Amino acid sequence: MAYQNLLYSVDDRVATIMLNRPERHNAFSVALVDEIMAVVAEADADPNVRVLILTGAGGKAFSSGYDIKESAEKPRRTIEQWRARMQKDIKFTYSVWDCSKPVIAMVDGFCLAGALELAMCCDMRFCSDISTFAALEARFSNGIATMIMPWLLGQRSRMLIYTGDTIEADEAFRLGLVDQVFPKADLQAEVTKIARRMSRVSLECLQWNKRSINHAFETMGLRNAIMYGAEACAMMDSIGSPEAAQFDSVRREQGMAAALKWRSEQFAPYE
């Protein structure tokens, strides 16, 4: 299958999926979301693939999350439309969780908002030393569609989610958000080496171990908790807030750049 928004290759049992919208920091457009789900399914079905690597082009971003420019052009949604949107977002982030083979998120640069949700649904996360992470949704007065962070970080997820703060690679490693940090120049070689070492394990063993690990989380209620989070997100986004209304007003009257500047100014005195 030919892809317009990503690059796909398979070499020595490892499939590499590179998000290829560097001019938009690899933001998740509707088309890119559809292609990611399709390419993950393709790699999952390929008997020559044992491990997947998901990364972003350009050297500046894994992804900045859902494309707010694209979504801002859509009319306001009803609660039912928000629910449908949240279910689509969950289906997207679950695409890597439900893939029968291990999926590695290789992060080099920004990994924000919805992109962080997708990365957290991957089996492992490795990043360069210049990478940054944030659950930025809070600063847009938005909910988090796939509330998986508490399952990875526990209590420590509260500060990141409540504040929308950006953290750097070393702090992400300290919190357990990423498995290892590499110098930027070494990231691709080191992650490829790990993936190829992993691919020497039999496919059946990799698949059954992933099923077992996922089942442990799901037995503890992960899917039910994420469904509740999606409903909370839909309610939050449909009800709105004074801050969200002001952001939208500035965006419509002065443009997205001015709206982002307004949002940043609200937090600047307390950073």
Chain segment 109-120, per-residue pLDDT in tens: 999 999 999 999
Q: What is the structure's pLDDT at 38?
A: 98
248 in the same domain as 216:
no
Q: Is 33 part of a structural domain of the chain? A: yes
From the CB of residue 205, how many other CB atoms can be counted at a distance below 10 Å?
A: 10
Residue 48 backbone dihedrals phi, psi, to 5 degrees: -85, -5
Do residue 91 and residue 178 come from a single domain?
yes
Q: Does 74 fall in a domain?
A: yes
Tell whether 45 is covered by a domain. Answer: yes
Same domain, 247 and 221: no
Tell whether 216 is covered by a domain.
Answer: yes
SS3 (DSSP) at 71: helix
Domain assignment present for residue 55? The answer is yes
Does the pLDDT at position 28 exceed 70? yes
Tell me the average pLDDT across 116-138: 97
All residues at 6 or more sequence positions from 123 whose CB lies less than 8 Å from its CB, including other chains = 96, 102, 103, 104, 210
Q: What is the pLDDT of residues 52-110, one digit of tens each?
A: 999 999 999 999 999 987 766 566 778 888 899 899 999 999 999 999 999 999 999 99
Which tokens belong to 213?
């690990």
Instruction: Please give the tally of structural domains in the chain.
Output: 2
Specify whether 129 is located in the same domain as 168.
yes
Write the Ramachandran bin of 171: left for phi over 0, alpha for psi from -120 to 50, otherwise beta: alpha
41 vs 49: CA distance, rounded Å: 11
169/43 same-domain check: yes
Give residue 258's domain range: 241-270
Mean of all residue pLDDT scores within the chain: 94
Give me the phi and psi of 14, to 5 degrees please.
Answer: -115, 125
Which of the residue ranges 79-83, 170-174, 175-179 would you say has the lowest mean pLDDT?
A: 79-83
Do 250 and 212 belong to one domain?
no
Residue burial 209-221, b: 16+ Cβ < 10 Å; e: rest: ebeeebeeeeeee
Please check the confidence at residue 1 and state whether its pLDDT lies above 80. no
Average pLDDT over residues 111-139: 97
Tell me the pTM: 0.94
Whether 136 contacts 65, CB under 8 Å: yes
Condensed to tens digits (0 to 9), the pLDDT of residues 247-257 reads 888 888 898 88
pLDDT at 11: 98
Confidence of residue 212 (pLDDT cuts 50, 70, 90): very high
Residues 156 and 56 in one domain: yes
As a whole number of angstroms, the distance between CA 100 and CA 219 comes to 18
| 230 lies in the same domain as 259 | no
27 with 63: CB under 8 angstroms? Answer: yes
1 domain-assigned: no
Confidence (pLDDT) at 217: 97
Give me the pLDDT at residue 74, please.
Answer: 62
